C-alpha cells in the first residue's frame, strides 16, 4: 500500500438541476418540478462557481443532473434562461467552463445519440452509472434506470469514442449474482469499444425521507468483497474508484483493489451526498496515501486524443508526457 499510486481529480461540482424524471427509492437530491426546492442552476451562479474553482486550481468541472423530466414547468424554467433543451443549456455551461480553463465532465442521465454527440465536443470525458443490470424495487418509478437503456447509452458513448466513467451502486436490493453480472456487462462493453476509463464501486448511503431511508447500508466486508470481485472481473486498464467521502474505510477499499478516489473539491460539496464531506488533500496525505493528480480524462485517452476538440488546448497545456496533470 505504501508504494501504491492513488489518483484523483481536483474539481468543482455543478448541480445543474435537481428535477428528474426518475424517482429512485434511495435519492435524496431529486425534487418534483412543482416543489419550492426544485431548481435549475442560474447561468450567473454556475459562472461564479466555475470562476472560483479556476482560481483555486481546479481543473475538472463536473456537471451533474438526472434525466430530463417531461413536465412543462421544467421547460418553462429552461426558457427563462433562453433554452429549449437541457442539453443546449449544458453545452453553453461547458463552454463557459472551457473559457475559464476548466475541463468539463458531464454526467447527465441517458441522452439521445445526437445530444451525446453534441456534448462530446465540449467534454474531456463523460459518465453514467450503470448501477445494476437487475430490475429492482428501488427503480420501480425510474424509467431511465432500465438496465438495457443504460447499457445502450454506454455503448453509444463507446461508438463516439468518449472516455467514459461508469459504475455500480452496492446495497440497493441487488444480489451477489447481480453484482457479478453488472461488472461483467461493463467488462463486455469495454472489450467492444475500449472506452471505459474507470468504474466506480459506490456504497449505498441511506437518506432520510426517502423510500429506502431505513434500509441498512452494505457492510465494509461486503464492499471489500465487491471491490475484489470487480478487480478480478475488469480488465487491468480500467481503474476502480472508491468515493472517499462515503466511507471511513478508504484505506481498506484501496487495498482491496481501488486505485482512484475520484473528484476532490475545495470549493463545493457533494450535492448528492451533502452529509458526506470530501476529505482534504492534507487529510488524505496524512493517511499515508501517495497521491497523483489526473485530468478528468485518463492518461490512456489523453495520449489517444479521445476528447472533444473544444477542450484540446487545455488538455495539451495541462497534461504531462504521461498524460497526468502537470
DSSP state of 17: B
CA neighbor of 196 nearest in space, from 182, 209, 206, 208: 182
Number of helices (H), then strands (E), in the chain: 11, 9
Query: What's the average model confidence in pLDDT over 41-49?
Result: 99
Give the rounded percent of residues in the chain with a pLDDT score beyond 70. 99
Residue 122 and residue 311 in contact, taking contact as beta carbons nearer than 8 Å: yes
pLDDT confidence of residue 290: 97
pLDDT confidence of residue 1: 62
Sequential DSSP letters for 148-172: HHHHHHHHHHHHTT--EEEEEEESS
CA 103 to CA 106: how far, in whole Å? Answer: 10
pLDDT confidence of residue 3: 77
Task: Say if residue 276 carries a ligand binding annotation.
Answer: no
CA neighbor of 262 nearest in space, from 290, 293, 306: 293
pTM, to two decimals: 0.97
Task: Say if residue 24 carries a ligand binding annotation.
Answer: yes
Where would I find the H helices in 218-295? 220-233, 250-255, 281-286
Residue 43 and residue 14 in contact, taking contact as beta carbons nearer than 8 Å: no
Q: For cell 478487480, what's the residue?
A: 231
Give the rounded percent of residues in the chain with a pLDDT score beyond 90. 99
Chain mean pLDDT for the chain: 98
In the chain the domains, ranked by start, together with CATH numbers, are: 5-318 (3.20.20.70)
CA angle 44, 46, 49 (to 5 degrees): 110
Amino acid at each position: 500500500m505504501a508504494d501504491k499510486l492513488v489518483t484523483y481529480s481536483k474539481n468543482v461540482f455543478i448541480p445543474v438541476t435537481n428535477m428528474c424524471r426518475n424517482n429512485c427509492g434511495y435519492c435524496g437530491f431529486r425534487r418534483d418540478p412543482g416543489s419550492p426546492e426544485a431548481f435549475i442552476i442560474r447561468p450567473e451562479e454556475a459562472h461564479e462557481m466555475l470562476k472560483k474553482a479556476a482560481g483555486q486550481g481546479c481543473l475538472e468541472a463536473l456537471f451533474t443532473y438526472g434525466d430530463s423530466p417531461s413536465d412543462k414547468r421544467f421547460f418553462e424554467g429552461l426558457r427563462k434562461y433562453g433554452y429549449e433543451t437541457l442539453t443546449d443549456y449544458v453545452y453553453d455551461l461547458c463552454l463557459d467552463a472551457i473559457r475559464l480553463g476548466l475541463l468539463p465532465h458531464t454526467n447527465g442521465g441517458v441522452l439521445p445519440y445526437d445530444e451525446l454527440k453534441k456534448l462530446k465536443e465540449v467534454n474531456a470525458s463523460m459518465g453514467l452509472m450503470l448501477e445494476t443490470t437487475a430490475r429492482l424495487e428501488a427503480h420501480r418509478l425510474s424509467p431511465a434506470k432500465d438496465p438495457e437503456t443504460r447499457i445502450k447509452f454506454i455503448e453509444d458513448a463507446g461508438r463516439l469514442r468518449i472516455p467514459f466513467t461508469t459504475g455500480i451502486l452496492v446495497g440497493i436490493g441487488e444480489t451477489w449474482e447481480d453484482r457479478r453480472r453488472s461488472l461483467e456487462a461493463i467488462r463486455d462493453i469495454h472489450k467492444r469499444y475500449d472506452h471505459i476509463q474507470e468504474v466506480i464501486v459506490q456504497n449505498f448511503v441511506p437518506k432520510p425521507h426517502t423510500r429506502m431511508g431505513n434500509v441498512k447500508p452494505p457492510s465494509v466486508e461486503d464492499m471489500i468483497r465487491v471491490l475484489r470481485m470487480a478487480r478480478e472481473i475488469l480488465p487491468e486498464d480500467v481503474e476502480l474508484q472508491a468515493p472517499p467521502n462515503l466511507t471511513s474505510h478508504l484505506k481498506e477499499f484501496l487495498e482491496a483493489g481501488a486505485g482512484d478516489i475520484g473528484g476532490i473539491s475545495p470549493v463545493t460539496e457533494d450535492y448528492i451526498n451533502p452529509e458526506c464531506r470530501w476529505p482534504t488533500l492534507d487529510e488524505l496525505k496524512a493517511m499515508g496515501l501517495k497521491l497523483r493528480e489526473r485530468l478528468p480524462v485518463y492518461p490512456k485517452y489523453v495520449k489517444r486524443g479521445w476528447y472533444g476538440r473544444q477542450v484540446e488546448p487545455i488538455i495539451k497545456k495541462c497534461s504531462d508526457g504521461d498524460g497526468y496533470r502537470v
